[in-house]
Homo-oligomer: A and B are copies of this chain.
Amino acid sequence: MSEGSTFGALKQVLVGKPIPSHLAHHERLSKVTGLAVLSSDPLSSVAYATEEIVRTLILAGAGALALSIPIATVIAALLLLVAFSYRQTIHAYPGGGGAYIVAKENLGPIPGLAAAAALLIDYVMTVAVSIAAGVAAVVSAFPRWHVSRTEMCLAFVVLIAIGNLRGIRESGRIFAAPTYFFLASLLSLIAAGAWRAMSGDLTPVPPSGTPTPTGVAVLGTFLVLRAFANGCTAMTGVEAISNGVPAFKPPEARNAATTLIVMAFLCVTLFVGITLLAHAYRVVPQEESAAGYETVVSQVARGVLGGRGPLYYCVQAATMLILVLAANTAFQDFPRLSSILARDRYMPRQFMNQGDRLAFSNGILVLSALAGILIVVFKGDTHALIPLYMIGVFVSFTLSQAGMVRKWRREGGRGWLGSALFNLVGAVSTCVVLVVVAVTKFAEGAWIIVVLIPLVVLWFQSVHNHYARVGAQLSLRGWRPEPRNHNTVLVPIGGVHRAVVQAIQYAKMLSGDVRAVYVDVDPKATEETRREWERWGQGVPLVVLQSAYRSLMEPLLEYIEQVDAERPDDFVTIVLPEFVPARWWHHLLHNQRALLIKGALLFKPNTVVTSVPFHLSK
């Protein structure tokens, strides 16, 4: 494979060496590494959840900001509720209970597909939102970089995509350090802030950029619900551990369940802690402006740590890293779910993992492209993306919990009612959040996802129907192949040269009935060809076709038609010499006649077009 290996080498440089089958199983995760690998998505949402609440409340004036604390408390309670609800899923689906599987098995194919659509959208949004928030953390620390935010976001997408194409896996090694760095940084920040608040050593943060203008909106139910809906972004990613149960060391389910609860309490601590500190330090959310932009977490860190010192930069770096990791999880989940959907024939089989990394690469490329488009359209602005994010998340939460309720009811067993009730509370509360989000954020972009989910489900179904139809047409059941006995081989030639001689050599090996075909457009050239043919024709008869219209294609197609009519059920093979130029752009200098002939015969049954490559060396 001398030349072929050039291609292989290039592929290896770009995407890394293939992994032998016996090494394909991931190392199993302990609780410590499991927390690191599967919690970056939920933990990272702490970076923007508080900000999303206060950004809405400020519309009703600075006084309304105090409401952030009760709102955060309700969300924290909901988060714990959902986590405990998912804990039941872990025990019921020790093989991994993604929303698609749970909803499909218990509620039927359509809810399953809706959950799958919601999840795929969710993954795209996770990439866009996490990277936008990560870049916001960078920009908060280095306000000068503010101008090239969209470009920085796209650069991160490309970097993570290349990393994943090369095969960075959910390896504890890579994940543990940044996750625990983040936990340590934020827990220390909260502890220090709490200490300073209690010791009375607290001064409000001086604003650095342009504070959001304090609004005069009435602090009505709708506004509070909107703030609540925005804050629910803290709950995104809670389901990750329940999907990844089989990755844990045995006893898998118990280890996963413990990890899930630890993760939930950590999330609550960070989220409530940041919200309390933001209020204590009188943090006001900032507007985008020419002066730059600073996140709420950055302001809190500045307040607690007394300005931009080394510790402050640690907090920002940790925040950025965990957000990039969160985006990275979507790069694992999107191709995996696509592969499952492709296996079930709901997505094109190009996404089905059949060895190599080809299928996963397709998933990674599609995910990067979609996330990139979102980032460009929404200019890398976290706040603009959030309304689109949560619909997908809460649709899959609700369907998954509802599926669990159905499962308990159907299967019965000891204590089924208690379990069912627990999941029912989960399903109802996430459904309520879903409705609140859809209503309060509808005009801000949530409508896009409300419209998109059914469209994606329809697409899944049309793909499925196509494969079903193809399967029926390919089925061998009760089918009998027609007997074929003859292969007429035609070699259209435009002159006599080495490539033609080689094509005739090849054609003679295929069949006893080989004919060279030449179209007469110029009697002198025809005469010359006839003469050359006597010497080089290898005994193959030369058919000369007349062309009334100076066309080369039409007489040829008519002749093929005529040959086909001689034996309608048998094969006709058209052998064409094809130049393989030494440089790709040389292709532009040669007639694409082979392509034209192939195109013209594409829909003709029993007709095969073969190109015999003739390699040009320079």
A residues contacting B by CB (< 8 A) are 1, 3-4, 7-8, 18-21, 24, 348-350, 354-356, 463, 466-467, 469-470, 473-476, 479, 481, 484, 486-487, 496-499, 501-502, 505-506, 509-511, 519, 521, 532, 536, 547-554, 557-558, 561, 571, 573, 579-580, 586, 588-592, 599-605, 607-618
Question: When chains A and B are docked, how far (Å) is the Cα of A350 from the Cα of B24?
Answer: 51
Q: Which residue of B is nearest A546, CB measured?
A: B21
16 contacts between A and B (CB under 8 A): A1-B557, A4-B601, A18-B550, A20-B548, A21-B548, A348-B590, A356-B549, A356-B554, A469-B616, A474-B614, A481-B498, A481-B501, A487-B510, A509-B510, A605-B613, A608-B612
Given contacts A484-B505, A590-B349, A607-B613, A552 and B511 within 8 Å (CB-CB):
no
Write out the residue numbers on chain B whose beta carbons fall within 8 Å of the beta carbon of A580. 602-603
Question: Chain B contacts of A473 at CB under 8 A?
Answer: 498, 616-618
Contact between chains at A4 and B484 (CB < 8 Å): no
Asked if A18 contacts B613 (CB within 8 A), the reply is: no
Cα of A154 to Cα of B80 in the assembled complex, Å? 63
Q: Which chain B residue has the least Cβ–Cβ distance from A579?
A: B470
Of the candidates B21, B498, B604, the one whose C-beta lies within 8 Å of that of A474 is B498
Q: With the chains together, A604 CA to B613 CA distance in Å? A: 9
Least distance between A385 CB and chain B CB atoms (Å): 28
- Min C-beta distance of A470 to chain B, whole Å: 6
Q: How far apart sit A327 and B527, CA to CA, in the bound complex (Å)?
A: 41
Could you tell me the distance between the alpha carbons of A550 and B21 in the complex, rounded to whole angstroms?
6
Residue contact A4 to B355, C-beta cutoff 8 Å: no
Minimum C-beta distance from A478 to chain B (A): 11
Chain B residues with CB under 8 A of A554: 8, 18, 356
- Smallest CB-CB separation from A22: which chain B residue? B548
Contact of A549 among B19, B532, B586, B616 (CB under 8 A): B19
> Closest CB-CB distance, A98 to chain B, in whole Å?
22
Residue of B nearest to A511 (CB): B509
Given contacts A612-B608, A613-B607, contact A589 B348 (CB under 8 A): yes
Question: Is there contact, CB below 8 Å, between B3 and A549?
Answer: no
Contacts of A505 in B (CB 8 A): 481, 484
| Complex Cα–Cα for A374 and B592 (A) | 28
Copies per complex? 2
Cross-chain contact A1 with B558 (CB below 8 angstroms): yes
Q: Are B550 and A24 in contact (CB under 8 A)?
A: yes
> Among the listed B19, B354, B498, B573, which residue makes an inter-chain contact with A521, where contact means beta carbons less than 8 Å apart?
B354
Q: Are B603 and A348 in contact (CB under 8 A)?
A: no
Q: In whole angstroms, what is the CA distance A249 to B419 when docked?
A: 100
CB <8 Å contact, A4 and B604: yes
A294 to B446, CA, bound (A): 52
Which chain B positions have C-beta within 8 A of A506?
Answer: 484, 487, 571, 608
Which of A532, A561, A610 has the largest count of B CB atoms less than 10 A from its CB? A610
The minimal Cβ–Cβ distance linking A518 to chain B, given in whole angstroms, is 13
Q: Is the CB of A610 within 8 A of B610?
A: yes
Query: Which B residues are CB-close (under 8 A) to A607?
Result: 613
A299 to B547, CA, bound (A): 55
Task: Tell me whether A502 and B474 are in contact in the complex, defined as CB-CB below 8 angstroms, given that A18-B550, A521-B355, A548-B20 are known contacts.
Answer: no
- In the complex formed, the residue of B with least CB distance to A538 is B481
CA distance A558 to B573 in the complex (A): 28
**Contact partners of A510 in chain B: CB under 8 A:** 487, 509-511
Residues of B within 8 A of A18 (CB): 549-551, 554
Could you tell me if B509 and A484 are in contact, using CB atoms closer than 8 angstroms? yes
8 closest Cβ pairs, A-B complex: A355-B550, A474-B497, A18-B549, A3-B603, A356-B551, A610-B610, A487-B509, A355-B551
A18 and B592 CA atoms in complex are apart in Å by 21
CB contact between A498 and one of B356, B476, B579 (< 8 Å): that residue = B476
Measured CB to CB, the closest approach of chain B to A444, in angstroms, equals 33
Q: Which residue of B lies closest to A550 (CB)?
A: B355
CB closest residue in chain B, given A485: B509
Pairwise interchain contact B511-A499, C-beta atoms closer than 8 A: no
Residues of B within 8 A of A547 (CB): 21, 355
**Minimal Cβ-Cβ distance residue in B for A467:** B589
Q: In the complex, what distance in Å separates the CA atom of A8 from the CA atom of B354?
A: 41
Residues of B contacting A7 in the complex (Cβ-Cβ under 8 angstroms): 599-600
Contact A552 B615 (CB under 8 A): no
**Known contacts A470-B579, A475-B497, A603-B580: A356-B589 contact under CB 8 Å:** no
- CB atoms of B613 and A610 under 8 A apart: no
CA distance A497 to B519 in the complex (A): 39
Q: What residues of chain B lie closer than 8 Å to A610, measured between beta carbons?
A: 573, 608, 610
A571 to B509, CA, bound (A): 9
Residue of B nearest to A501 (CB): B481
Please determine whether B487 and A501 come into contact, CB atoms closer than 8 angstroms. Answer: no
Min CB distance, A226 to chain B, in Å?
40
- Asked if A600 and B4 make an inter-chain contact with CB atoms under 8 angstroms apart, the answer reads yes
Q: Chain B residues near A536 (CB, 8 Å)?
A: 476
B-chain residues with CB within 8 Å of residue A479 when the two chains form the complex: 498
Q: How far is the CA of A356 from the CA of B600 in the complex (A)?
A: 15
